[in-house]
């Protein structure tokens, strides 16, 4: 069981509060879609939750232990992080890039064991990259690289996946596939926390919504009960229509508020 708890998270940069006393708890089996306007603090919050950024105030715990006290390698085995706008500077193959997701579990020397090869192959296939296995990662399109980085994040079968805009650059088919994959991860008992800009996809696939506005937590709860026209007006300053629930949900933006 994984339980991630953020308490009073505050982050300041250049005299401005990027996050302001944000508190929330997350449990395994949930797919939490983090939403908010540009500059709301989504990426900063995800970095704090992943243990990559030390907040100026507050703390984050995983199963009751502060992230700052956890061994980095042990944390990396349990938590995968998918950054916004991922890049690869070296012309390594897609296979090698995906295998990097197993670094915390691999021996220091020697080649890949058969079971490692199997896990890499499964991740490559799951993210529709079989035809790119030997291709240099630096030659991939933006969407192909996004899928390769998702495969790298998933290959280690983490208990906790934190993803910053995992659908950025993806075409509709692969965006739907990615959201369905994240949903299945949550259904299998994993904890998924991801920033999502496509609110219809968030409404259809996520189990919970966490909404930020100007660094403050505005709402956090089950998707069907939380994602409303009133909430969207508050955080995006637009009039919107929220219709349906679950797989039939749709968000239509109508006009500026």
- Per-residue model confidence as pLDDT tens digits over 118-177: 889 999 998 889 999 999 999 998 888 888 999 999 998 899 999 999 988 889 999 999
| Residues in CB range of 204: below 8 A, 6 or more apart | 179, 246, 247, 248, 249
Mean pLDDT, rounded, for 208-232: 97
- pLDDT of 109 strictly over 60: no
168: exposed, middle or buried (Cβ count in 10 Å: 0-12, 13-18, 19+)? middle
pLDDT cut 70: percent of the chain above it: 95
With a cut of 90, say whether residue 203 has pLDDT above it.
yes
Of the ranges 107-116, 143-152, 204-213, which is most confident? 204-213
Higher pLDDT, residue 117 or 190 = 190
* Whether domain 3-88+158-256 has CATH 3.40.50.300: yes
Q: Model confidence at 107, in pLDDT bands (50, 70, 90)?
A: low
With cut-offs at 50, 70 and 90, classify the pLDDT of residue 86: confident
Would you say 169 and 147 are in contact if contact means Cβ atoms under 8 Å apart? no
How many angstroms separate the CA atoms of 103 and 101, rounded? 6
The model's pLDDT over 176-189, given as tens digits with 9 standing for 90+, comes to 999 999 999 999 99
Is the four-CA dihedral 119, 122, 128, 133 of positive or negative sign?
Answer: positive
How far is it, in rounded angstroms, from Cα 90 to Cα 61? 34
Nearest C-alpha neighbor of 192 from the set 206, 172, 211, 213 = 206
Comparing 5 with 84, the larger pLDDT belongs to 5
In the numeric block, the tokens 């193959």 are attached to 93
pLDDT at 210: 98
H-helix or E-strand containing 42? helix 42-49
Can you tell me the distance from the alpha carbon of 118 to that of 24, in angstroms, rounded to the nearest whole number? 37
* 104 has pLDDT over 60: yes
Alpha-helical (H) ranges within 103-243 are 114-126, 142-154, 172-187, 199-205, 223-226, 229-236
Local structure of 167: helix, strand or coil? coil
In the chain, what are the helix, strand and coil shares in percent, each to the nearest 5? 40, 30, 30
- pLDDT at site 110: 54
222-243 burial: b if 16+ Cβ within 10 Å, else e: ebbebbebebbeebbeeebebe
Q: Report which of residues 143 and 244 the model is more confident about.
A: 244
Q: Give the pLDDT mean for 38-51.
A: 96
- What is the residue-averaged pLDDT of the chain? 91
Residue 74: count other Cβ atoms within 10 Å of its Cβ.
10
pLDDT at 77: 86
The alpha carbons of the chain give a radius of gyration, in whole angstroms, of: 18
- Which of the residue ranges 45-59, 106-120, 170-184 would you say has the lowest mean pLDDT? 106-120
Q: Provide the β-strand partners of residue 82.
A: 163
What number is the average pLDDT over the span 111-120? 75
Q: What is the mean pLDDT of the segment spanning 54-64? A: 95
Own/partner pairs, 125-134, CB within 8 angstroms, 24+ separation: 126/151, 126/154, 126/181, 127/151, 127/154, 128/174, 128/177, 129/94, 129/98, 132/94, 133/93, 133/94, 133/95, 134/93, 134/94, 134/95
Task: Say yes or no to pLDDT of 207 above 70.
Answer: yes
The pLDDT score that the predictor gives to residue 204 is: 97
Strands 216-222, 238-243: pairing kind? unpaired
**Per-domain residue ranges of the chain:** 3-88+158-256
Does the pLDDT of residue 106 top 70, yes or no? no
């Amino acid at each position: 069981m994984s339980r991630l708890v953020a308490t009073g998270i505050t982050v300041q940069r250049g005299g401005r509060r990027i996050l302001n006393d944000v508190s929330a708890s997350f449990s395994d089996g949930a797919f939490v879609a983090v939403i908010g306007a540009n500059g709301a603090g989504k990426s900063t919050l995800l970095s704090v939750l992943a243990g990559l950024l030390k907040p100026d105030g507050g703390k984050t715990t995983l199963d009751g232990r502060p992230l700052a006290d956890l061994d980095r390698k042990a944390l990396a085995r349990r938590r995968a992080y998918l950054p916004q706008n991922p890049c690869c500077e070296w012309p390594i193959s897609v296979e090698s890039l995906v295998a990097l997701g197993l670094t915390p579990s691999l021996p220091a020397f020697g080649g890949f064991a058969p079971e490692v090869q199997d896990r890499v192959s499964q991740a490559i296939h799951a993210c529709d990259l079989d035809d790119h296995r030997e291709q240099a990662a630096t030659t991939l399109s933006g969407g192909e690289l996004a899928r390769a980085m998702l495969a790298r994040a998933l290959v280690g079968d983490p208990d906790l996946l934190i993803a910053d805009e995992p659908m950025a650059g993806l075409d509709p088919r692969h965006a739907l596939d990615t959201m369905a994959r994240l949903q299945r991860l949550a259904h299998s008992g994993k904890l998924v926390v991801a920033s999502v800009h496509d609110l219809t996809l968030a409404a259809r696939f996520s189990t919970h919504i966490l909404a930020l506005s100007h660094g403050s937590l505005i709402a956090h709860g089950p998707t069907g009960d939380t994602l409303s026209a009133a909430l969207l007006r508050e955080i995006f300053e637009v009039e919107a229509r929220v219709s349906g629930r679950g797989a039939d949900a749709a968000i239509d933006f109508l006009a500026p508020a």
